[in-house]
Structure 1
Amino acid sequence: MGIPYRIYTAATVLVALVAVFLASKSPATPESSFSPVQGKNGTVLFFVNTEYGLSNVHLATISGLLEKYPCTEIHVASFPRTAPKLQRLSALARRKSPDARDIYFHPLPGPEYIKAFSARLGVQGKSVHYLLHPPGMKGLSTLISRVQAAISPWEAEDHINIYTRAGEIIQDVDPSVVVLDTTLQPAIQAAWKSNRTHAYISPNALADNFAGDQPNWGFLWKYSRMGSDFPFPMPWRKIPENIIVTAGFIYSAFVRSDFRAIRKQLEAHGIQDPPRSSRLNRPWIAQYLPGASIPLDFIPPNVICAGPIVLDEVPAIEQDAELTAWLSRAPTVLINLGSLFTYKEEHAKTMALAIADMLAKTNVQVIWKMTKEGNYSDADVLPPVQEDIEKGRLRISEWLSANPVSLLETGNIVASIHHGGANCYNEAIAYETTPFALRAGVPQVIIPMWFDLYNYAQLVEDIGVGIYATRGTAPNWTAENLRKSFLKVVDGGQESLGMRKKAKELGELAQKEPGRLTAAREIARLAILGTQHGGLC
Structure 2
Amino acid sequence: MTGSQGPKILLLTNSEFGEANVFLATSHAILQADPTVELHFATFGGLRESVAMVSQKIQATIPETKPIVFHKIHGLTMSESLRNAHPFPASFLAPPGFLNTIRAIRDTVQIFVPYSGPQLVQIFLSIVGIINTVNADLIVVNSLMTTGLTACCHLGVKFACLSPNSIKDFAASKQPWAAALWKFPALDAEKYLMVHTGAHLRTPVDLLHNRLAHLKILVSTLPELDFPLIIPENIIPCGPILKPHQCVSGSDLELGNWLALGSTIYVNLGSICQLTASRAIELAFALKTTLEVLRVQANSSRFQVLWKLKLVEDDSMPDSDDNIEAVLGDFIQDDLVRIAAWIEVEPSSILQSGHIACSVHHGGANSYNEAIKAGVPQVVLPQWTDCYDYAQRVELLGIGRLGSRKAKPHWSADELSKALLDVLISESSAAIKDKAIGLANLCDEKGNGADVAARVLLDECRNTVPLGSGTDKCSALARTGTTRSASGKII
The one of 221, 227, 241 equivalent to 1:294 is 227
Asked if residue 425 in structure 1 is aligned to residue 368 in structure 2, the reply is: yes
Gaps of 5+ in 1: 1-39, 214-218, 220-245, 432-440, 531-537
Matches within 5 A, 1:446-461: 446-461=380-395
**AA in 2 matched with 1:336:** N
The one of 189, 208, 219 equivalent to 1:262 is 189
Matches within 5 A, 1:115-514: 115-121=80-86, 123=87, 131-137=92-98, 139-140=100-101, 142-212=103-173, 249-254=178-183, 257-268=184-195, 269-273=197-201, 276-278=209-211, 281-297=214-230, 299-362=231-294, 363-373=302-312, 374-377=314-317, 380-431=323-374, 441-491=375-425, 493-512=426-445, 513-514=447-448
Whole-Å Cα distance in 2 between the matches of residues 190 and 146 of structure 1?
Answer: 23
**AA in 1 matched with 2:402:** Y
**AA in 2 matched with 1:78:** T
- Number of residue pairs matched by the alignment: 442
The one of 447, 451, 454 equivalent to 1:520 is 454
**AA in 1 matched with 2:182:** A
Whole-Å Cα distance in 2 between the matches of residues 376 and 130 of structure 1?
Answer: 27
Q: Aligned residue for 2:471?
A: none
**AA in 2 matched with 1:390:** Q
Per mean C-alpha deviation after superposition, the further-off stretch among 195-204 and 134-143 is 134-143
Deviations 1:151-187 (A, max 9, x none): 3222211111111111111111110000001121112
Residues 295 and 498 (structure 1 numbering): CA distance in 2 closer, same or farther, change over 3 Å? Answer: same
Q: Post-superposition shift, 1:277?
A: 3.6
Whole-Å Cα distance in 2 between the matches of residues 521 and 47 of structure 1?
Answer: 18
Q: Post-superposition shift, 1:313?
A: 2.6
**AA in 1 matched with 2:433:** R
TM-score when scaled to structure 2? 0.85
Deviations 1:284-326 (A, max 9, x none): 10123132111212x2222211011111133322221111111
Whole-Å Cα distance in 2 between the matches of residues 411 and 196 of structure 1?
Answer: 45
SS at match of 1:253: helix
SS at match of 1:44: strand
Per mean C-alpha deviation after superposition, the further-off stretch among 151-160 and 87-96 is 87-96
Whole-Å Cα distance in 1 between the matches of residues 58 and 349 of structure 2?
Answer: 16
**AA in 2 matched with 1:265:** Y
Residues 131 and 277 (structure 1 numbering): CA distance in 2 closer, same or farther, change over 3 Å? Answer: closer
Gaps of 5+ in 2: 295-301, 465-491
SS at match of 1:307: coil
Q: Percent identity?
A: 28
Q: For the aligned residues, what is the CA RMSD? A: 2.1
Matches within 5 A, 1:93-104: 93-104=58-69
SS at match of 2:328: helix
Whole-Å Cα distance in 1 between the matches of residues 147 and 186 of structure 2?
Answer: 15
Deviations 1:204-250 (A, max 9, x none): 1111222025xxxxx7xxxxxxxxxxxxxxxxxxxxxxxxxx96x44
SS at match of 2:273: coil
Q: Post-superposition shift, 1:529?
A: 4.7
Whole-Å Cα distance in 2 between the matches of residues 342 and 133 of structure 1?
Answer: 16
Whole-Å Cα distance in 2 between the matches of residues 94 and 314 of structure 1?
Answer: 16
* Paired residues of 1:41 and 1:175 also in contact (CA < 8 A): no
SS at match of 1:158: helix
The one of 87, 90, 95 equivalent to 2:52 is 87
Asked if residue 73 in structure 1 is aligned to residue 38 in structure 2, the reply is: yes
SS at match of 1:475: coil
* Paired residues of 1:350 and 1:479 also in contact (CA < 8 A): yes
